[in-house]
Amino acid sequence: NRINCLLVAMTGKPRSTLAQRCDYLLDVGVKEEACPIGLAPTASTTAALAMGDALAMAYLEIRGFREEDFAQNHPGGSLGRKLLTTV
């Protein structure tokens, strides 16, 4: 690729163009959606969210991420403010 980095794709379509062009594929495909008429993405969005959360938590552990790091990266958000505010 143009910037010479590994490409990781998270998709429910392992035969997609994106999946075929990536270095690593995280298949979050589901057999069927929970929507009774099969139109609204329900199970698939939950699967993607769970995989994203799992990746984020694994990355935090690998990097040794601390509360101070979180506060520094997100000072304006409610969690960052909570960590930066002293009472």
Burial of 28 (0-12, 13-18, 19+ CB in 10 A): buried
**pLDDT tens sequence across 23-79:** 999 999 999 999 999 889 999 999 999 999 999 999 999 999 888 887 777 767 777
The span from the CA of 70 to the CA of 19, in Å, is 31
Q: Which token pair is 4?
A: 């010479």
Beta carbons within 10 angstroms of residue 64's beta carbon: 7
Contact status, residue 54 vs residue 37, Cβ threshold 8 Å: no
pLDDT for res 1? 65
The CATH superfamily label for domain 8-84 reads Glucose-6-phosphate isomerase like protein; domain 1 (3.40.50.10490)
> What are the residue ranges spanned by the domains of the chain?
8-84
Q: Report in angstroms the alpha-carbon separations of 61 from 53, 55, 71.
A: 12, 10, 16
